[in-house]
Amino acid sequence: MTAILRATGVELSYGSQRALSGVDFALSPGEVCAIMGSSGSGKSSLLYCLAGVVAPTRGDVTFDGVPLRRLGDDELSTVRRERFGFVFQYGELLPELTVVENAALPLRLAGQRKAAAHQAAEEVLGRLGLAELRQRRTSQISGGQSQRVAVARALVHRPDVVFADEPTGALDSANADSVLAEFLSLARSQGTAVIMVTHDASVASRADSRYTMADGALTGRAAV
Ligand SMILES: Nc1ncnc2c1ncn2[C@@H]1O[C@H](COP(=O)(O)OP(=O)(O)OP(=O)(O)O)[C@@H](O)[C@H]1O
């Protein structure tokens, strides 16, 4: 199958600090992939390069057949906003907005009207068991609920790829298990590919494929 996202010979240096060296990577549409590795091995740096947040020092990242470095800033922002989704360790929600407003944000930023955006967001929130909290401000919900809202926001616009950096790292293990299961089940049901960075082997075990980063190189892959 043609890769939706591909890295070829990607290198990244921060000044004299080499973070990535010669990374090759390919993600199929709908594939769930986990990237493990010790602290400082380059996992977040790889995620940033793959998501077009940081430009590699050398090599190419290609999304849907187009090298990201050929895109201008506006085109790259549009790809990130409309074709990608993001989940971070602490949710990173906007506390002054309600649950449904947070979840609907990608659709509103893409120009969708409020009623349609909120309807789509409520459907996703319902699938994550959050329907009753939809009018609550996100400063007034629990950590597990916040992370579910972050998952809803990452998936609501049916992106091609979701980038998840320690998506359940801030949760206790019971909560982490259920949020992860709901996240991956929703992503799989809509054909969204996922790249998760994780320190947790049980999180990685739920992926279709697993890589390990060591010293800026991607050293192993095991497709399930
Ligand atoms: N902005 C930066 N400036 C300089 N060096 C950086 C910067 N960001 C990361 N690094 C360095 O690049 C290397 C890779 O860092 P990166 O954050 O990608 O690792 P990581 O595997 O995600 O680590 P962790 O699991 O601790 O989050 C490390 O040596 C780190 O110190």
Predicted local confidence at residue 221, as pLDDT? 66
- Record the pTM: 0.93
Q: What is the mean pLDDT of the chain?
A: 92
Dist CA 84 CA 29 (whole Å) = 12
Q: Is the pLDDT confidence value at 162 over 90?
A: yes
**6 CA → ligand 1 middle, Å:** 21
**54 CA → ligand 1 middle, Å:** 13
Pick left, alpha or beta for residue 121 (phi over 0 → left; psi -120 to 50 → alpha; otherwise beta).
Answer: alpha
Predicted local confidence at residue 88, as pLDDT? 85
Predicted local confidence at residue 215, as pLDDT? 93
Dist CA 148 CA 19 (whole Å) = 31
Q: Is the pLDDT confidence value at 94 over 70?
A: yes
- 154 pLDDT band (50/70/90 cuts)? very high
Q: At what angle do helices 173-189 and 114-127 cross, to 10 degrees?
A: 120
Dist CA 50 CA 41 (whole Å) = 16
Atom of ligand 1 nearest to the CA of 213: 21
33-78 pLDDT, tens per residue?
Answer: 999 999 999 999 999 999 999 999 999 999 999 999 999 999 999 9
**69 CA → ligand 1 middle, Å:** 22
- In the predicted model, what is the mean pLDDT of residues 78-91? 89
Residue 20, burial from CB neighbour count under 10 angstroms (0-12, 13-18, 19+)? buried
Predicted local confidence at residue 174, as pLDDT? 83
**17 CA → ligand 1 middle, Å:** 9
Atom 12, ligand 1: residue with shortest CA distance:
19
Q: Is the pLDDT confidence value at 222 over 60?
A: no
**40 CA → ligand 1 middle, Å:** 5
Atom 3, ligand 1: residue with shortest CA distance:
14
Predicted local confidence at residue 17, as pLDDT? 92
**19 CA → ligand 1 middle, Å:** 7
Q: Among residues 1, 136, 152, which one has the least CA distance to residue 64?
A: 1
Atom 25, ligand 1: residue with shortest CA distance:
39
Percent of the chain with pLDDT over 70: 97
Atom 16, ligand 1: residue with shortest CA distance:
42
- 219 pLDDT band (50/70/90 cuts)? confident
- 178 pLDDT band (50/70/90 cuts)? confident
C-alpha to C-alpha distances, 91 to 51, 101, 121, 152, 220, nearest whole angstrom: 18, 14, 16, 11, 29
Pocket test for ligand 1, best of 12, 23, 43 (most atoms within 8 A of CB): 43
Predicted local confidence at residue 224, as pLDDT? 44
Interface predicted TM-score (ipTM) of this complex, two decimals: 0.94
Q: Is the pLDDT confidence value at 1 over 70?
A: no
